[in-house]
């Protein structure tokens, strides 16, 4: 090892300690086998650092770098969940820019054999305080659905801040989802995003009790099974996910199969994807953006029947993921983009909305340590040089 792989990192106690990088793991750069799980990575956007704008207010995207990142995910066999919270939807990425992102990603996917993509449709062009009725929410959903379907896109039906604001009972949620699911062209993925990711979604499905909310969500999904590919649950609670997974219909869904559970649990994804004797989860995860090579290698091992290797690859990524997604969870995007920059997948650590400032230097230093332990810093010298640049900006030399 050389001095280029040694640096001083801050700790949570406000001190500095020496750290020596290790050798990275040699993950394949392309998927080696088809997976036996459907696996989407929710993908981040790359900001344009040279845009002369107001970075907290305006949305400037580096389109070439953003699409190149999606091509990286597709090469690894992962699908792209587009224009969702990982792309800073509702936290810097507005609806007009989201639609342009969706259009460009759909176009790019047509040039990649086997690439699959689904895109977020919500109501975020309708300010929650501007929503006066359930009909306002329905119209907002319909507008975004129509725009994405016009482009030939598949739908991820995102949770609505406006609906959470105006709904007065579970029946209001049933009315909205019944209306939307009755008219979609193709089966959709429904996203239940917990309030740890977005506080404005507290009480979604009409109850602050997650199990009572699950009753409503499961009823809606199972009644419309033919129009629901699956549900992504983001509550960071494996027991609730398993409980809901076991309540989803096993037949009557698209092509006669059941409704899929897509784990959104960035704390417990490994065991949920592996599953148990009663079933398993598929994946639609923000952490797969940050650990894509490891996720691809692990899913290939699982498909080959080698569950011990699947578990061995993902086990060291779980502490990294739990750190990236620690409270306030909504700031996890900063860690995802930091990982992409450390690994040379983009040229800067600038985010839409100035969100690179949402995590502290000790948080980023611990992320660096955990990424190294997981073997995920593909080029240690480059990663160390970039970490030193961040340290220097903070006065650590």
Region 363-384: mean pLDDT is 98
In this prediction, residue 38 carries a pLDDT of 98
Q: Average pLDDT in the 149-166 region?
A: 98
- Summarised one tens digit per residue, pLDDT across range 327-362 is 999 999 999 999 999 999 999 999 999 999 999 999
Residue 2 has pLDDT above 80, yes or no: no
Q: Which tens digits make up the pLDDT trace of 240-271?
A: 999 999 999 988 778 888 999 999 999 999 99
The pTM of this model reads 0.96
Q: What pLDDT shows up at residue 245?
A: 97
Question: For 307-325, what is each residue's pLDDT tens digit?
Answer: 999 999 999 999 999 999 9
Residue-averaged pLDDT of the chain: 96
d(CA 325, CA 333): 8
Portion of the chain with pLDDT greater than 70, in percent = 99
Q: CA-CA distance, 245 to 240, in Å (whole number)? A: 8
Q: What is the pLDDT of residue 254?
A: 84
| Ordered domains of the chain (ranges, CATH) | 33-358 (3.20.20.70)
Give the model's pLDDT for residue 1. 41
- Closest by Cα among 140, 130, 194 to 330: 194
Specify burial of residue 279 (Cβ count, 10 A radius: 0-12, 13-18, 19+).
middle
Query: pLDDT tens for residues 213-233?
Result: 999 999 999 999 999 999 999
**Which helix or strand (DSSP H or E) is residue 192 part of?**
strand 188-193
pLDDT band at 74 (very low <50, low <70, confident <90, very high): very high
pLDDT tens digits, 30-52: 997 899 999 999 999 999 999 99
Cα–Cα distance, 47 to 312 (Å, whole number):
34
HSE value, Cβ hemisphere, 13 Å, CA-based, for 349: 23
pLDDT at 251: 84
First to last CA, the chain: 21
């Amino acid at each position: 090892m050389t001095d280029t792989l040694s640096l001083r990192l801050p700790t949570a106690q406000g001190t500095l300690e020496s750290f020596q990088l290790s050798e990275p793991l040699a993950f394949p750069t392309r998927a080696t086998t088809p997976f036996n799980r459907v696996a989407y990575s929710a993908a981040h956007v790359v900001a344009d650092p040279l845009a002369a704008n107001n970075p907290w207010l305006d949305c400037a995207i580096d389109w070439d770098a953003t699409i190149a990142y999606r091509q990286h995910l597709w090469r690894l066999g992962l699908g792209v969940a587009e224009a969702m919270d990982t792309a800073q939807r509702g936290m810097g990425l507005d609806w007009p820019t989201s639609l342009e992102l969706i259009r460009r990603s759909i176009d790019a996917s047509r040039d990649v054999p086997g690439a699959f993509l689904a895109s977020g449709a919500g109501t975020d062009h309708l300010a929650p305080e501007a929503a006066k009725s359930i009909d306002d929410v329905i119209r907002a959903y319909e507008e975004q659905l129509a725009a994405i379907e016009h482009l030939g896109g598949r739908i991820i039906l995102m949770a609505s801040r406006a609906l959470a604001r105006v709904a007065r009972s579970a029946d209001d949620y049933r009315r909205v989802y019944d209306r939307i699911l009755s008219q979609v062209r193709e089966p959709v993925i429904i996203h239940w995003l917990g309030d740890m990711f977005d506080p404005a979604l507290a009480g979604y499905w009409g109850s602050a009790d997650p199990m009572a909310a699950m009753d409503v969500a499961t009823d809606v999904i199972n009644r419309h099974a033919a129009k629901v590919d699956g549900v992504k649950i983001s509550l960071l609670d494996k027991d609730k996910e398993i409980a809901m997974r076991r309540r989803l219909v096993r037949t009557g869904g698209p092509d006669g199969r059941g409704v899929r559970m897509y784990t959104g649990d960035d704390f417990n994804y490994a065991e949920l994807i592996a599953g148990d004797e009663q079933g398993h989860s598929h994946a639609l995860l923000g952490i797969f953006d940050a650990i894509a090579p490891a996720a691809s290698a692990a899913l290939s091992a699982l498909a080959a029947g080698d569950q011990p290797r699947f578990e061995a690859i993902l086990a060291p990524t779980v502490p990294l993921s739990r750190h990236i997604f620690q409270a306030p969870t909504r700031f996890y995007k900063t860690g995802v983009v930091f990982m992409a920059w450390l690994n040379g997948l983009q040229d800067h650590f600038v985010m839409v909305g100035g969100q690179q400032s949402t995590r502290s230097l000790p948080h980023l230093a611990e992320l660096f340590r955990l990424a190294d332990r997981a073997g995920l810093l593909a080029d240690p010298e480059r990663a160390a040089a970039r970490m030193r640049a961040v340290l220097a900006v903070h006065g650590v030399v």
